[in-house]
């Protein structure tokens, strides 16, 4: 379904949850290199970012395991990724 949907539409901003989904959607969107941005849970947990033609893919840690929203420090990290040029 994702190949069909994203083959027809290119959103400016795409969010995924978890590494496997990020990797699959990055392939579908033909994303560039992946940048790892510390998410504030230690060195092993990162937010993944990849640019693709016309947009940006943001891979968040799976929210069933990590609280992302509502923490001012993490809110600032997410805002800086979304606003990056």
Query: What 3 state SS string does the chain have?
Result: CHHHHHHHCCCCEEEEECHHHHHHHHHHHCCCCCEEEECCCCCCCEEEEEEECCEEEEEECCCCCCCCCCCHHHHHHHHHHHHCC
> pTM above the 0.75 mark?
yes
Query: For residue 68, what pLDDT is reported?
Result: 64
Query: pLDDT below 50 — which residues of the chain?
Result: none
Query: For residue 51, what pLDDT is reported?
Result: 95
């Amino acid at each position: 379904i994702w190949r069909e949907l994203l083959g027809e539409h290119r959103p400016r901003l795409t969010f995924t949850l978890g590494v496997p989904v990020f990797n699959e959607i990055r392939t579908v969107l033909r994303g560039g290199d992946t940048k790892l941005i510390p998410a504030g849970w230690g060195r092993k947990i990162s937010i993944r970012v990849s640019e693709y033609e016309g947009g940006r893919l943001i891979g968040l840690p799976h929210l069933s395991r990590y609280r992302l929203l509502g923490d001012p420090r993490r809110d600032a990290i997410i805002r800086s990724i979304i606003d990056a040029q």
